[in-house]
Amino acid sequence: MADGGGALDLERDRVILALETSCDDTCAAVLTPGGAIAANVISSQGIHDRYGGVVPEVASRHHLELIGAVVDDALATAGTSFEQLELVAVTCGPGLVGALLVGLSTAKALAAAYRLPLAAIDHLHGHVAASLLEPNPFEPPFLSLIASGGHTLLARVTDPGPDFEVIGQTLDDAAGEAFDKGARLLGLGYPGGPALERLARDGDPSAFEFPIASKVQGLDFSFAGLKTALLYRVRDLGPDEVHRRRADLAASYQRAVVESLALRVERALAQTGSSRLAVGGGVAANGALRERLAKLGVTLDVPPRELCTDNAAMIASAARFVEPIRYPDYLALDVYATGERRLAA
Ligand code: KG4
Ligand code: ZN
């Protein structure tokens, strides 16, 4: 549940505590103001596997049960205490409203009890800011590809603050969702991305032709057609043939998702003249995507896996670059759902 603690100087260091509960991971992290991770605790609920996706109400209830222990664990791992905090940071959206409310309410209570300021963080700014963490901060300007189960976007990042420019996003499913839905059609469990990648290793990526939405102009992504193409292919082949050719189907499908992402990245690099690319979100764990992007010949930053998937260290990282809200002004703060407005800078 917990991972690495950095050595804190308890006499000197004032630290940031961050909470992230936008989906099904209950996360707390402790960060030094310089961007070194002292603790990054992630409790994955697991419970949603049986439903084939995240059930919002179940996620909220689990956050409520876990958040106290996860915060305690983060402070203990960092060897610090509430008295040592200088700032509490929390994800306010986009995400599942009930889930976000657990994190925000907890953050408000902690910050108010110690009269601390609070930093309200946009989840996507968090994903971008994962690249800014020590020990190898990737300095802006760069192009950022965020691909996860909930979002897929391309952003032009010119400074570390929340004002990055979104230049492309998905018109329908997110890339991770495309992996999950494809995996489901092939009879794999949830979340499907890692399982589909494993199966694809034994398959031929050119066995089947799947659409990569190359006709969608510009920098936006679309995965709905791809998912439907797999659905029809599975129906046409029939159960026995699908079973026999599962690995080929997985490899060909994965290739289509990867190509679809890489095509937009190539367009965006050409359009912005950038030669620096940061990748984040759960799909960044995909080996085929990493290999494909590594061939682009740009300076590439892919943070370690635990910083690509949802985590609170990235939220703490973003908090260093937003204006904190003073006590008690943040008590009226609200969350916002997926698809709603972003926080004003
Ligand atoms: O960032 P993340 O942990 O949570 C969200 O914010 O959604 O991303 C989870 C998503 C899931 O859709 C999962 O299937 C996908 O990332 N994923 C992968 C891989 N590992 C996780 N997709 C493809 N290949 C992987 N190795
Ligand atoms: Zn995310």
**pTM here?**
0.91
Please state the rounded mean pLDDT for residues 227-250: 97
Query: Best of 190, 309, 315 to mutate for ligand 1, by most ligand atoms within 8 A of CB?
Result: 309
Provide the Cα torsion 73, 78, 79, 85; round to 10°: -90
Q: Is 211 in the pocket of ligand 1 (CB under 6 A)?
A: no
Question: Does residue 53 surpass a pLDDT of 90?
Answer: no
Tell me how far the alpha carbon of residue 77 lies from the centroid of ligand 2, in angstroms. Answer: 24
**pLDDT (mean) for 203-224:** 91
Residue 2 — pLDDT band, cuts 50, 70, 90?
very low
The pLDDT of residue 7 is 56
Query: Is the pLDDT at 337 greater than 80, yes or no?
Result: yes
pLDDT tens-digit profile of 270-299?
999 999 999 999 999 999 999 999 999 999
Least confident of 118-127, 137-146, 210-219: 210-219
Pocket lining: 149 vs ligand 1, CB cutoff 6 Å: yes
The ligand that comes nearest to the alpha carbon of residue 148 is 1
Q: Which residues is 145 bridged to in the sheet?
A: 154, 279
Atom index in ligand 1 nearest the CA of residue 22 equals: 6
Helices (H), the chain: 56-78, 97-113, 123-129, 175-185, 192-200, 224-237, 239-244, 246-272, 287-294, 305-308, 313-319
Both tokens of residue 131?
């690249």
For range 211-222, the mean pLDDT: 87
The end-to-end CA distance of the chain, in Å, is: 33
Q: What is the pLDDT of residue 340?
A: 65
Q: CB-based contacts of 246: which residues, under 8 Å, 6+ apart? A: 186, 187, 199, 203
What pLDDT does 268 receive?
97
| The pLDDT value given to residue 54 | 75
- pLDDT score of 342: 57
Residue 280 alpha carbon, nearest atom of ligand 1: 1
Percent of the chain with pLDDT over 90: 82
pLDDT in tens, 59-76: 889 999 999 999 999 999
Name the band, by pLDDT with cuts 50, 70 and 90, for residue 345. Answer: very low
> From the CA of 21, how far away is ligand 2's center (Å)?
10
Give the residue carrying structure tokens 């610090």.
Answer: 80
Q: Whose CA is nearest to atom 21 of ligand 1?
A: 282
Ligand 1 mean position, distance from CA 95 (Å)? 15
What mean pLDDT, rounded, does the chain reach?
92
Q: How far apart are CA 301 and CA 283, in angstroms?
A: 14
pLDDT exceeds cutoff 70 at 5: no
Question: Is any ligand 1 atom within 6 A of the Cβ of residue 103?
Answer: no
Taking a 5 Å cut-off on Cβ, the residues next to ion ligand 2 are 148, 310
Residue 1: pLDDT above 80? Answer: no
pLDDT score of 8: 57
Q: What is the pLDDT of residues 142-199, one digit of tens each?
A: 999 999 988 899 999 999 999 999 999 999 999 999 999 999 999 998 779 999 999 9
Model pLDDT for residues 88-115, shown as the tens digit of each residue: 999 999 999 999 999 999 999 999 999 9
Distance (Å, rounded) from C-alpha 134 to C-alpha 251? 35
CA–centroid distance, residue 146 to ligand 1 (Å): 11
Name which of 120, 149, 59, 76 is nearest 338 in CA terms.
Answer: 149
Assigned token pair, 328: 């008690």
Find out whether 128 and 117 touch, Cβ atoms under 8 Å: no
Query: Highest-confidence range of 5-19, 188-202, 317-331, by mean pLDDT?
Result: 317-331
**Looking at residue 215, what is its pLDDT?**
75
Got the DSSP string for 314-332?
HHHHHHTTSPPBPTTGGGG
